[in-house]
Amino acid sequence: MASDNKPKAVDPAFTKSVVDAGADTVTLCFQCGTCTGSCPSGRVTAFRTRVMMRRVQLGFKDDVLPSDELWLCTTCASCDERCPRGVKITDIIMTLRNMAVREGYMAEAHKNTARSLMKTGHAIPLGDAFRKLRETLGLDGEPPTVLTDKEGLEEIKKIVKATGFDKLVG
């Protein structure tokens, strides 16, 4: 959902839940904009890191959790290394994304990446062309990871079940 100019409900409990989830430094932000000035993504989109921090402070939950902007951060960490207030911005964005996913806001493309991990132990598949190239290079066609280690792959499946990740992704 792109942000618009309509007033949104303020939810102080949202700010508290972000703080309680360990992202307490968000309260330290004094809106200088150093983060926005450092942000590679903000250079090419309307995503403004500073605004996101303010929205969290004010409890604008519906402007944050369902937003596309939340997912435009590359986690490059330029911002939090420069923030004069020691706000752990990348970490806060991670906290917000985890909350968004738990509320059901997860893009289909991301669900597919997550499903690949749960099924194969890897984020991407191995195609025939690459299997052949590996062989040409003198490597095993399939790398000696959980792709060939059946027990290892079972372990991955048990882990994602134990953490509840399988249910979360659906």
Partner 1 sequence: MAEYALFLGCIMPLRYPGIETATMEVAKALEMDMEVLEGTSCCPAPGVFRSFDRNTWLALGARNLALAEEKGTQIVTVCNGCFGSLWEVADLIEKDEKKKEYANSILKEIGKQYNGGVKVRQLAEILYTEIGLDAIAAKVTNKLDYMKAAVHYGCHYFKPDIVKKIDNRERPKTLDELLEVTGATSVDYRHKNMCCGAGGGVRSRAKEVAQAMTDQKLEAMKESGANCIVDICPFCHLQFDQGQSGLGTSFPVIHLSQLYVMAFGLDEAINGFEAHTVPVKF
Interface contacts to partner 1, rule CB under 8 A: 40-41, 43-45, 68, 71-78, 80-81, 94, 97-98, 101, 106-107, 109-110, 113-114, 117, 121-126, 130, 133-134, 136-139, 143-146, 149, 152-156, 158-160, 162-163, 165, 168-169
Q: Which is nearer to partner 1, 40 or 66 (CB)?
A: 40
Report the C-alpha gap between 63 and 47 in whole angstroms: 12
Non-local CB neighbours of 165 within 8 Å, separated by 6+ positions: 114, 118, 159
18 contributes a contact to ligand SF4 by CB under 6 A: no
Tokens of 59: 């409890």
Report which secondary-structure segment, H or E, holds 72: none
104-133 residues near ligand SF4, rule: CB under 6 A: none
Output 5 or 109, the one with its CB closest to partner 1.
Answer: 109
Question: For helices 49-58 and 89-102, what crossing angle results, to 10°?
Answer: 60
